[in-house]
Structure 1
Amino acid sequence: MSKNVVAVVVTYNRRELLETTLRGITSGTVLPSTVVIVDNASTDGTADFLATYNGPVAADTVRLDQNLGGAGGFVVGMERAVLDHAADYVWIMDDDTEPQPGALEEALAASQAYAAASGDEPSFVASRVVWTDGRDHPMNRMRPRLGASEEDRETASRAGGVQIRTASFVSILIDAGQIRRHGLPIADYFIWNDDLEYTARISRRQNAISVEKSVANHHTKSFGDAGADPGARFYYEVRNKLWVYTRSSALTPWEKVLYSGASIRNWSRTIAGSPNKSLLVQGLLRGLLHGLKAPRSNEQVLNGIYPLRDVRLTGGPVA
């Protein structure tokens, strides 16, 4: 029995990259039934492009009147995929992602092979993410599943993958049952670490894998880690990591200790290496201050912008 795959793409003011993303999706060896495109109030002609877009895959376009960031956009798109399109799998990506022709086919094959070997599908399957020149992208390093059993590692290997704990929202195939069970991402994150929290949440008690043969290009401006010099966006890195570590039950207590230590080390290196240290220090202090208050509910963030329809999908568990 074939499975219904719905792709979800969130875009903001990157029309040319969006066209590349859609070409990648629609040139695959296996196609989704629908692509949900969430336009975060773009002002660069994206709306006009989408109004006339007519690709080989049915498109469901949602135009928001306000930029909700990647986090809010995925909340809208994933809810739509599950409720309006009855997805079995939701394949999500940003607008600077270019899935290669076999990306979806290989991810589906790995998920089904894993299910055949273990009796249960992985919570999500992540593509290998490379830069435009084919090198593995350091921004999208997969976090390994520490303490994974030998049996779980062997099961993942038989499916052509490796055990992971978290992944970025750059071509990941999510079992829609996980969305129904664990809810949606947290819109108030806006940008950064919403994918860390969400993938950790749905994989805490069910394994996830990355697959070498499923490949997506990440069209960032430069080859490097996201924390190299984030400028004013450093605020979101700090605030949202604090939310992950103190307000979410996505990570286990010992994972929170390990990840917190890694974050402090990385923040120190980021500030030390930045030509504008004062800006980053300001972002650090604001992020720490605002991270003390819990994120708003998805209903509060989307109030008056987009009507969420199923309370079971409006947010994840909190500690």
Structure 2
Amino acid sequence: MNSAAGKIAIAIVTYNRSTFLAELLASAAAMDTPPYRIIVVDNASTDDTQDVIAAAASRFPEGVLVNHRLDTNTGGSGGFSEGTKVALEQGADWVWLMDDDVEILPDAIARFAPWMERFKVIHGRRYDFDGSPFYWQAKFNEFLGVPLPYSGKQFGREGYAITNSGTFEGMLIHADVVRTIGLPDPRFFISWDDATYAWLAAQHTDVVYVDAFVLKRKREQKQVNLGIRHLNDGSALFRFHVIRNRAYVGKYFAQYGKLNRLGFGLGTALTLAKEVFRLVVVQHTVKGVGDLARGFRANRALWRDTSWRPMDPAEVPAGPASSRGGNHDR
């Protein structure tokens, strides 16, 4: 089914969290306005994820739920890149990107609809697992090359705020923008991929946060409430990539002539300090410092890689898979 603004495909990336995925698919089936497609990218899960997807299929009209299982775990970055590609091959006008540990509110598409007539990259609001508003609005400080949180009062009378950062935990993006900037970059694996992708989009169109709740987080995490943002716990894999991937962010900034090497280096130092703070204050340990050190060494190697190129917009699918002979429904 189409919304007034076009065909919306929901792209979900999942890995070994079948219970959360089942709840998310149940919420998708209960939406007041059904989506055009639901693309589930299974990142080579080893649990019963495939059984959950098969069981959920009966809740949707034939062809709506697309089961796209990958042979290897490509991380969130690879999953969102693949999900976006499949959605566009299926003929979607919009791709709504989300993790598996959220629940879609029934009237989400109706809440998005007015904004879809005005903007092409949109973030709605989320409730946290305890029902409180989850705050994640940020803007890239281009001197430092880091997204910094800003006040919840930014929505103003019109109910939206312009930004240049974002998250794949709810980013709604028009196919035209994807065809302009390319698919999300799978090389990030995890961390910085979504903020950088929204920043790339912001070089071509308005990226907005809107004062409309459309999702609820379901997974409880250790966190510290700092007022203007929540700081969650992080894994060893996250710590490594959050430092390593600073090099990818910098390379994209350089592509647009926005890289200030002095400021960006300071931003990397601040990122490192934030991760040490996260270890000590949220996780009460310093054992993860080695992950950050490994990430920094990998960061230096990526900066020296002269073969790196940005994602190529020419590789973005032009239309439905049926016109290209592809079949991604496994």
Task: Give the shorter-chain TM-score range.
Answer: 0.7 to 0.9
1:74 matched to 2:80? The reply is yes
Report the Cα offset of residue 8 of structure 1: 0.7
Query: Is contact 2:222–2:232 with CA below 8 Å preserved after alignment?
Result: no
CA 1:135–1:251 in structure 2 vs 1: closer, same or farther (change >3 Å)? Answer: farther
Unaligned 5+ segments in structure 1 are: 115-121, 147-155, 300-307, 315-319
Distance 2:44 2:293 in 1: 29
Q: Match of 1:108? A: 113
Alignment of 1:278-297 (within 5 A): 278-280=287-289, 282-291=290-299, 292-293=301-302, 294=305
Q: How is 1:1-319 mapped onto 2 (pairs within 5 angstroms)?
A: 3-53=6-56, 54-56=58-60, 58-83=64-89, 85-112=90-117, 114=118, 122-138=119-135, 140-143=136-139, 160-222=159-221, 224=223, 225=230, 228-249=233-254, 253=258, 261-272=266-277, 273-274=279-280, 275-280=284-289, 282-291=290-299, 292-293=301-302, 294=305, 311-313=314-316
CA contact (8 A) 2:243 2:271 kept: no
Distance 1:143-1:211 versus aligned 2 partners, 3 A rule: same
String of CA shifts for 1:27-47, please: whole Å, max 9, x gaps: 222221110111011111001
Could you tell me whether the CA contact under 8 Å between 1:137 and 1:223 is conserved in 2?
A: no
Q: Deviations over 1:109-145 (max 9, x none)?
A: 2121x2xxxxxxx23110112211222324x333279
Higher mean C-alpha displacement, 266-275 vs 194-203:
266-275
The TM-score, its normalising length taken from structure 1, stands at 0.78
Secondary structure of 1:16's aligned partner: helix
Distance 1:255 1:105 in 2: 41
Percentage identity across aligned positions? 23
1:52, distance to aligned residue in structure 2 (A): 3.3
**1:87-106 deviation per Cα after TM superposition (whole angstroms, max 9, x unaligned):** 11111111012121222221
Instruction: Map Cα deviations across residues 166-192 of structure 1 (whole Å, 9 max, x no partner).
Output: 111112210110011111111111111
Q: Is the 8 A contact 1:239 1:287 kept in 2?
A: yes
CA 31–174 in structure 1, closer or farther in 2 if over 3 Å, else same: same
CA distance in 1 between counterparts of 2:111 and 2:239 reads: 35
Q: CA RMSD in A?
A: 3.0
Q: How far apart, in 2, do the equivalents of 1:258 and 1:217 lie?
A: 36
| C-alpha distance after superposition, 1:248-291 (max 9, x if no partner) | 557762688666645522421432553442432x2222212212
C-alpha contact 2:137 2:209 (8 A) present in aligned 1: no
Give me the whole-angstrom Cα distance separating, in 2, the residues matched to 1:233 and 1:55.
35
CA separation of 1:251 and 1:145: change in aligned 2, threshold 3 A: farther
Query: For residues 179 and 17 of structure 2, what CA distance do their matches in structure 1 show?
Result: 30
1:245 counterpart SS class:
helix
Output the CA distance in 1 between the equivalents of 2:83 and 2:234: 30
Q: Relative to structure 1, is the Cα distance of residues 159 and 78 closer, same or farther in structure 2, using a 3 angstrom cutoff?
A: farther
Partner AA of 2:113 in structure 1: L
The unaligned stretches of length 5 or more in structure 2 are 143-154, 224-229, 318-330
Q: How far, CA to CA, are the matches of 1:81 and 1:56 in structure 2?
A: 17
CA contact (8 A) 2:239 2:275 kept: no
**TM-score for both structures, normalised by structure 2:** 0.76
Alpha-carbon shift at residue 203 of structure 1 (Å):
1.4
Question: Using the alignment, how far apart are the partners of 2:222 and 2:131 within structure 1?
Answer: 11
| Kept after mapping to 2: 8 A contact 1:104/1:214 | no
SS in 2 for 1:289: helix
Find the residue that maps to 2:212 and give its secondary structure: strand
